[in-house]
């Protein structure tokens, strides 16, 4: 796992495990498998630079994907994948980067970009369609500059296990949305944050935190607690005023879901689209 204690933070061996269904690949199996794909990673400031070393083949596709997902789960500021040391046997295998980008887009919401110095590799990325979904640069330095030009805004506050935390969550949302220039998000975002916080207090019965993330046209609201049990949608009773939590979150958000939190607990997150640029709503939790 990655650590900021030194320059080189991790080396992950990817010996290959699993065939990607429906893809026919041709390679010298004995020659390629003698050099397993490896992930070397180091931090450049808050950005994690990951360098795959070896050959991307069908048998290493899944492990490369899972390795990048694990790095993203540690929530660096962003991930730059330096492709200078990786060989590719088929353009279709490069879709691993689009898959990872899609999987982490809502949560943890870590931006991922590619650094491809070679013209032939950039051509393959374009041919496979990956460059339409994952920003691609000529070098790591250029990628870092591109990330600086598109800053990510984040605010996180601690929440005690107290009924007053819901009010605190609403206040944080109101103040933050005004500071970020999106006051129109306050009504829906405040309700979502309040309901997620109520769930933390009433069901998880633990302290936690509230996080707001603004990226492009998406505002992500997340609440963490120490209870690993997943939340459930419930229809409120006829006379009850409670029980609306996730139903409101489901109604107001573009998508929502949960993620495990180490060593224990979970994060419940919801993504709201900024009204001026609202797009079609996806099925919640997907």
Please report, in tens digits, the pLDDT of each residue of the chain (286 residues total): 444 433 344 444 443 333 333 333 333 444 444 457 999 999 999 999 999 999 999 999 998 999 999 999 999 999 999 999 999 989 999 999 999 999 998 889 899 999 999 888 999 999 899 999 999 999 999 999 999 877 678 999 999 999 999 999 999 999 999 999 999 999 999 999 999 999 999 988 999 999 999 987 899 999 999 998 888 776 655 444 444 678 899 999 999 999 888 678 999 999 999 976 444 444 444 3
Q: How far apart are CA 187 and CA 41, in angstroms?
A: 41
- Of 149, 172, 205, at which residue does a domain stop? 149
Number of domains in the chain: 2
Is 3 inside any structural domain?
A: no
Q: Is the model's pTM score more than 0.85?
A: no
Is 234 inside any structural domain?
A: yes
Is 285 inside any structural domain?
A: no
Q: Which residues contact 66 (CB under 8 A, 6 or more apart)?
A: none
- Of 125, 149, 173, at which residue does a domain stop? 149
Q: Do 122 and 232 belong together in one domain?
A: no
Across 34-71, b (16+ Cβ under 10 Å) vs e yields eebbbbbbbbbeebbbbbbbbbbbbbbbbbbbbbbeeb
Q: How far apart are CA 262 and CA 47, in angstroms?
A: 21
CB atoms within 10 A of CB 264: 11
Is 192 inside any structural domain?
A: yes
Q: Do 100 and 168 belong together in one domain?
A: no
Q: Which residues contact 262 (CB under 8 A, 6 or more apart)?
A: none
Q: Do 130 and 15 belong together in one domain?
A: yes
Is 284 inside any structural domain?
A: no
5 neighbors 41 (Cβ within 8 angstroms): no
- Of 108, 130, 149, at which residue does a domain stop? 149
Range of the domain at 231: 153-277
């Amino acid at each position: 796992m990655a650590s900021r204690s030194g320059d080189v933070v991790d080396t992950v061996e990817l010996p290959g495990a699993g065939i990607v269904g429906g893809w026919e690949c041709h390679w010298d199996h004995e020659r390629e498998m003698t050099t397993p794909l490896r992930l070397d990673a180091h931090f450049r400031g808050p950005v994690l630079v990951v360098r795959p070393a070896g050959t991307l083949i069908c048998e290493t596709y899944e492990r490369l994907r899972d390795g990048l997902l694990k790095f993203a789960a540690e929530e660096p500021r962003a991930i730059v994948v330096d492709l200078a040391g990786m060989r590719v046997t088929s353009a279709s295998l490069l879709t691993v980067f689009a898959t990872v980008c899609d999987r982490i887009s809502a949560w943890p919401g870590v931006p991922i970009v590619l650094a491809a110095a070679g013209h032939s590799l950039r051509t393959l990325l374009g041919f496979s369609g990956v460059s339409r979904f994952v920003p691609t640069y000529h070098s790591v330095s250029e990628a870092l500059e591109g990330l600086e030009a598109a800053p990510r805004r984040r605010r996180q506050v601690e929440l005690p296990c107290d009924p007053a935390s819901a009010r605190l969550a609403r206040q944080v949302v109101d103040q933050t949305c005004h500071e970020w220039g999106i006051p129109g998000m306050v009504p829906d975002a405040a309700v979502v944050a309040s309901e997620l916080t109520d769930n933390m207090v009433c069901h998880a019965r633990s302290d936690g935190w509230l996080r707001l993330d603004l990226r492009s046209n998406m505002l992500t609201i997340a609440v963490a607690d120490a209870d690993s049990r997943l939340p459930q949608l419930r229809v409120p009773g006829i006379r009850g005023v409670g029980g609306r939590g996730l139903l409101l979150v489901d109604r107001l958000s573009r998508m929502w879901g949960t993620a495990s939190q180490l060593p224990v607990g979970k994060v419940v997150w919801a993504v709201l689209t900024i009204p001026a640029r609202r797009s079609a709503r996806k099925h919640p939790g997907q």
